[in-house]
Amino acid sequence: MSANLVDRYVFTALRRVPEQQRADIDRELRASIEDAVDARVEAGEEREAAVETTLLELGDPDRLADSYADRPNYLIGPELYPVWRRSLMMLLTVVLPIVVIVVAVVQVLAEDAGFGEVIGSAIGTIINVGAHMAFWVTLGFWIIERTGAGKDDINRPWTPKDLPRYEPGALTRVQFAANLVWPAVLILALVLQQFTFTEVPLLDPANWNFWWPVLIGLIVLKGLWVFWVYRLGTWTRQVAVVNAIHGVVIGGVILYLLAADKFFNPAFPGFNGVEVDLEGWISVAVMITTGLSIAYEIFDVARKAEQARKGLGVKVPGTGNTYTAS
């Protein structure tokens, strides 16, 4: 456990250090931690407690990385900068996508907007809402820093419990939410294209007698699989097998409909008066894309399950290092 904490601390710090400095800082930081831990152990402290105390004294690894890289954080001040950065990234990567989806759905239902209008509205929402999020969050932190109001509440002391986990486990909360959003978006798109985007739907309406409900059911099962993986907290062979079976089934349904020219609506007039060959190269392209994406996902989940079973390390983004739980 102690070795895990040291690895996680070092890897977290290295993510924000220029690549050419990482090897030297890795050695220097580990040596510094080891010396401090050994001194505490010799003084009679338990090793695990010594590691945690040493990391607490070093403080937030993001701030330590900035000091190593000689990169002062003067946007709003170094004391609140890490909290500001984490808050803004959470808003832009989690909240903003949800806002964009909600705005698009509301526009479609309320205004019967076309496909191009919905895409334009989504892009506009990303720019406008994203800019507002960045501005107001930065302004809020600037006010807090200048006045001191609420500073102690948001800038709580860093502890080793705040370190990211790099084990080859399952989904984080953000990944879990993202993996549930996409099934919901696919079902929504399948339903809305039938009634809103054009007078003539893009996909074959005859499939509502059987194939589209089957496809929706399979997408719902994918969402339940994601929930199962999240609750398990790890990748297993059972998870990989279920994912492979689901991928083969849903891929088989889509590829069958495409190959039999039953996927797209033959009466679809095209986009904005421009005719498209839905039963020609577009069907072939969708078939290839579907096959490759499903094959990759089956391989990726199987790889993660085998990696977790063998206790192999995982690559830490932005460091070039591999983390192995001990």
Q: Is the pLDDT of residue 155 over 60?
A: no
Instruction: Write out pLDDT tens, residues 35-57.
Output: 999 999 998 888 888 888 998 88
As given in the structure block, the two tokens for residue 4 are 């895990």
* pTM for the structure as a whole: 0.52
Q: What is the pLDDT of residue 296?
A: 93
Q: At what angle do helices 173-195 and 211-232 cross, to 10 degrees?
A: 170
More confident residue, 37 or 82: 37
Listed ranges 9-13, 97-101, 268-272; the one with the highest mean pLDDT = 9-13
Q: Is the pLDDT of residue 164 over 80?
A: no
Q: What is the pLDDT of residue 1?
A: 40
Give the range among 183-187, 268-272, 294-298 with minimum mean pLDDT: 268-272
Helix (H) / strand (E) element for 186: namely helix 173-195
Return the amino acid letter for 170.
A
Q: What is the torsional sign of CA 294, 300, 301, 302?
A: positive
Backbone angles phi, psi at 80, to 5 degrees: -100, -5
Compute the distance between CA of residue 278 and CA of residue 268 in angstroms, rounded to an integer.
9
Q: Is the pLDDT of residue 125 over 50?
A: yes
Q: Band of the pLDDT at 113, cuts 50, 70, 90? A: low
Domain segments of the chain: what residues?
2-68, 81-162, 173-310
Instruction: Write out pLDDT tens, residues 249-259.
Output: 999 999 999 99
Instruction: Write out pLDDT tens, residues 11-32.
Output: 888 877 777 778 888 888 899 9
